[in-house]
Chains A and B, each alone.
Chain A
Amino acid sequence: MKAANEMTEILTPSRSTVFVVDDDTAMRDSLRWLLESAQLNVQTCDSAEAFLAIARPDACGCLVLDVQMPGLSGPELMDELKRRHIHLPILFLSGHGDIPTVVQAMKGGAVDFLQKPYDNAQLLERIGQALTLDADSRDARRREFLRSQRLEGLTAREREILDQVVAGRSNKEVGRKLAISYKTVEAHRGRLMRKMGAASFAELLQMMLGGRRETI
């Protein structure tokens, strides 16, 4: 069972924010100007600790993170976020000599990195990708959440029939297998489609086998 706050996160997504964490004032201020010029919503923090103080599990967007900072380092912040179930994609901005640290961090999760000095066009593109990634994974999590919730709403018989149908059996075959009439199978099937929120059999199939978000 998922935590209550995560449920709110999934059901009411807030506006995407690019969180910039950098101890250098000039970098923070200039990145804010650049990103706001690209019409992004920006929030800056001067340390990993400051970000942790404002980070909420329902935060959505991405995290632009300097690798080397006094106090908690970028990779350490990443570990802490994982512990707190904050799944923001992270874009590391790494200086010279940070590569081993970043490689280590990349093994740990959804991260990308840009080596300084980077191109601003590149930066904006990577931030765009991170935001898409965040929206996608948020959607996936929402779909998964809805699906499991709806599955829980099915009766045992409906669940049985769903599994058979998804396995590719016709109503007739299902009736024969479960020793119930074809009509009964059809009635159950209509009900479970409604409960699962599927408009068509194709949609139901996609939902159960992991389809695209447009289908929900």
Chain B
Amino acid sequence: MSAAPVVELLRRAERQEPRRPSYEASLLFEHAAMAIGHVRDRQLQRCNRRLETLFGYGPGELNQRNLQMLYPSYSDYVACGRSSGRQLERQGSCRIERLMRRRDGSLFWCQLSGQAVDVSRPSAGSVWTIEDISARKQAENALREAQAQLEQQLAEIRRRHQEDLARASRLNSMSEMAGALAHELAQPLAATLNYLHGCQLRLKQGDCTSEQLDGVISRAIQHTETAGSIVRQVHGFVRRHVPETTATDLHALIGDMLGLLDHQRRKLGVRLELLLAPAPPTVMVDALEIRQVLLNLIRNAYEAMATSPAEQRLLRIESRPLAGGRVEVTISDRGPGISPEACSQIFDAYFTTKQDGLGLGLAVCRSIIESHGGSLRVASNPEGGACFRFDLNTVMNP
């Protein structure tokens, strides 16, 4: 509701009978359902009963009183007066939402709508209607809060969905690799058993020196540790993962994954070419997630070369420092390469060219690299095949 009709009445009254509002204008003024006051020089000339009740005052208590008492503080009073005065001068009316103060000191949200009685004559003052909007403000605040909460929940759901996809992809990799992993594990265990049984035979026959035994037992321990590390890696891949960012040697992660996939590499007779930056780059990453990316990319490369001629099977892993303290890793295979149509879809979730693939691997890889502030791209290997390239921020050496 605006103050315009009241002003119109006041004006009309003034024109007909200066200084004395008509009886009907006074009636309308007194009994309006809205708080109304006439202000001149920042002083309430008159106000209706509704306004007095709104602020907790008795009849007549606010007449001829300065507006300051209705504001929470003096600075509020000054600031509001300045901005509303300017607006009234410029456009004859203004609308403000502010916290105001009741007589008992409690604060509440009001909407103040002012209308100049006569724009050309500021001394005529202005008429204000005041509406208690605390309920609306409260609702607005609640809405805003609910929205923020929803957004937070949505982000959480999205994050959890990403994590679930990543885990599904890890579990899938492990199940596809189960046979190869069993072999990878069997090898060091078989070697250990060979050493230990040999030791037992020799101890029975009493034909060995302690130096001999020491050397052999050291080798057995080393193989057992290798087996243990494979078990740890697999465990890391299958258990629920709590993301954790740590300073990590990127080359060590590459080495870990090449080790885990060594059986597959040997089975396919793939040769390995490592062109690593001389200074091992330290990256701030979630080590498991980057392992997952490397595992996926290296496995894909091996699988891509399964049908290539034996002498062509070469995997190249390159790491090189970029400007701005970043490092770039390139994994190139000599497989059949990726068609331009497939290139545009290859990072989409559920897109796969494999017979029984889930189509999660590369989609998850890309979201992992992006969540680390990098990007994962695919290009053609100039020597034939495909190459995948990603970059990460390194920890600058102090």
Contacts and interface: CB of A to CB of B under 8 A. Distances in A.
B202 A37 contact: yes
A116 B197 CA distance: 16
A24 B189 CA distance: 13
Interface residues of A, number: 23
Given A117-B186, A120-B194, 7 more contacts: A27-B194, A30-B194, A31-B194, A34-B201, A37-B199, A71-B269, A116-B190
B219 interface: yes
Interface string A4-37: 0000000000000000000110110111011111
Interface residues of B, number: 25
A131 to B, nearest CB: 17
Contacts of B189: 117
User: Which applies to chain B's interface (DSSP): helix, strand, loop or mixed?
Assistant: helix
A198 B219 CA distance: 56
Nearest to A39: B205
Interface of A: 23-24, 26-27, 29-31, 33-39, 68, 70-71, 95-97, 116-117, 120
A30 B219 contact: yes
B191 A120 contact: no
Contacts, number: 63
Nearest to B203: A37
Contacts of A68: 266-267
Contacts of B190: 27, 30, 116-117
Contacts of B125: none
B191 A26 contact: yes
Interface in B250-285: 266-267, 269
B124 interface: no
Contacts of B201: 34, 37-38
A96 B216 contact: no
Interface of B: 179, 182-183, 186-195, 197-199, 201-202, 205, 216, 219, 223, 266-267, 269
Nearest to A33: B198
B92 to A, nearest CB: 90
29 contacts: A23-B266, A24-B187, A26-B219, A26-B223, A27-B187, A27-B191, A29-B191, A30-B190, A30-B219, A30-B223, A33-B194, A33-B195, A33-B198, A34-B194, A34-B195, A34-B197, A35-B198, A36-B198, A37-B198, A37-B199, A68-B266, A70-B266, A70-B269, A96-B179, A96-B182, A96-B183, A117-B189, A120-B194, A120-B197
Contacts of B223: 26, 30
